[in-house]
Homo-oligomer: A and B are copies of this chain.
Amino acid sequence: MVEPATDTVAATKLVPLLKDELDIVIPTIRNLDFLEMWRPFFEPYHLIIVQDGDPSKIIKVPEGFDYELYNRNDINRILGPKASCISFKDSACRCFGYMVSKKKYIFTIDDDCFVAKDPSGKAINALEQHIKNILSPSTPFFFNTLYDPYREGADFVRGYPFSLREGAPTAVSHGLWLNIPDYDAPTQLVKPLERNTRYVDAVLTIPKGTLFPMCGMNLCFDRDLIGPAMYFGLMGDGQPIGRYDDMWAGWCTKVICDHLGLGVKTGLPYIYHSKASNPFVNLKKEYKGIFWQEEIIPFFQAATLPKDCTSVQKCYIELSKQVKEKLGKVDPYFDKLADAMVTWIEAWDELNPAGAPAKVSNGKA
C-alpha cells in the first residue's frame, strides 16, 4: 500500500531553483487545499490558477501563495473571439495559463495530486526533480541502457557514440504517479483496485521517432523551447470528446521536438495521485478517442515537417494543415480542431509578441 507524504513541512528547504523563471499552472474547479501539502515546495513560486466552470464561484487559495487567477470571464475578455480555442469544463483549459505566463518554464499539476514518498519514506519534491530533468540534456538519438547519463552515479555506457554525448536540449519533463495510475476508462473498469506501488528510480529520454501518451497531471516544460505546441485542444463543453487534451498536446509536442532536435524525458518525479475519476463518466468522454486514436497515432507517427519549419509556431501551423487534410476524413471534429490550432497560435503570438514580453494582468493577483 502506498501512502502520500504527510510531513512535507519538515522536508529540507532548499534554495528554490528557477524561482523567477518558472510558473506553476493549476486548472481547478475547487478550493486549492491541496496546496497545503505542497507549501514547502511551491510557496516560493508564482502560481497561475485557471478556474474552470462557473466563473462566479470563489476559489479559495491558502494564505501565503503568490498567484494570479483566471476564470472564464477573464479568458473571454483577454482573448476576445480567440477564446474559442480554450476549452471549457475540461482541464484542457489549463493551457490558457501557459499562454499568459511570461516565464521560461511551466510546471503544471492537477489539484488531486499530493506529495509522494520515495522508498526511504522521504517526501518527494517533484518540482525540484522536474527542474533537474529540464536543466540537463536529453538523449533522443541513441538509447542509454543505464537511463539518464547525466544523473549522479550514471554515465554513458560502452558503445554510446561520443559525438552524441552532449545530448539535446530538454523541452519536456513528464512525471509519473504513485497510487492511482493514469488508466483509461476500460482499464479502470477492468482493474478497479489496481494501484501503482512500483517506484522506478529512473529518468529516461523518449527516443526520437517514438510517440508516448503524455499525461498532463505532473508535467514540466520549457515554454521558450516548446510552449506553442502545448495546446490542449478542444475538449469538454460542446465537444465530442474529453480526456484527450494532454494526449493531443503530447503527440504534437513529440513530433515537433523530434523535428527540432529537442528532448522529452519521462520517469521521475512521482506525485501521489489520490483519487480515481469515475470510470463511467470517463468512458463517455473517452470512447470516441478510443476509436480515433487508432487513426490519429499512425497519422502522427508518419507526420513529417518540412525543413523550413524552423520555429515551434511554424511547425504547429504546418501540423494543423496536415490534421485538416488527413484527420478531417475521420470526423468533422478534426476540421474544427485544426482551425482551433491556428487560433491558438494567433492568440499565443498576440500575448507573446516576439522580443517584447507583454505583461497581462487580470487585476486579481
Residues on A close to B: CB < 8 A? 119, 142-147, 151, 153-163, 174, 176, 181-184, 186-187, 191, 194-202, 204, 206-215, 243-244, 246-247, 250, 266, 286, 290, 293-294, 297
A119: chain B residues within 8 A (beta carbon)? 119
CB of A159 within 8 A of CB of B202, answer no
CB of B161 within 8 A of CB of A293, answer yes
A210 to B139, CA, bound (A): 11
CB of A162 within 8 A of CB of B290, answer yes
**Secondary structure of the A contact surface, majority rule:** loop
A250 to B159, CA, bound (A): 10
Contact pick for A215, options B158, B204, B293, CB 8 Å: B158
Contact pick for A153, options B143, B196, B215, CB 8 Å: B196
Q: Distance (Å) between the CB of A321 and the closest chain B CB?
A: 24
- In the complex formed, the residue of B with least CB distance to A297 is B161
Q: A158-B215, A294-B161 are in contact. Are A146 and B176 (CB under 8 A)?
A: yes
CB of B147 within 8 A of CB of A159, answer no
CB of B297 within 8 A of CB of A212, answer no
Q: Distance (Å) between the CB of A290 and the closest chain B CB?
A: 7
CB of A142 within 8 A of CB of B201, answer no
A143 to B162, CA, bound (A): 26
A250 to B158, CA, bound (A): 12
A202: chain B residues within 8 A (beta carbon)? 200, 202
CB of A243 within 8 A of CB of B158, answer yes
CB of A212 within 8 A of CB of B176, answer no
Q: Distance (Å) between the CB of A251 and the closest chain B CB?
A: 9
Q: A155-B181, A161-B294 are in contact. Are A176 and B145 (CB under 8 A)?
A: yes
A162 to B191, CA, bound (A): 16
A194: chain B residues within 8 A (beta carbon)? 153, 155
CB of A181 within 8 A of CB of B157, answer yes
A118 to B198, CA, bound (A): 14
A142 to B184, CA, bound (A): 16
A210 to B144, CA, bound (A): 11
Please name 28 pairs of A and B residues whose Cβ atoms are closer than 8 Å in the assembled complex, sorted by A.
A142-B210, A142-B213, A142-B297, A143-B210, A143-B211, A143-B212, A144-B212, A145-B174, A145-B176, A145-B213, A145-B215, A145-B266, A151-B198, A153-B195, A154-B198, A155-B181, A157-B183, A157-B215, A158-B243, A158-B247, A159-B244, A159-B246, A161-B297, A162-B294, A199-B201, A200-B201, A200-B202, A204-B204
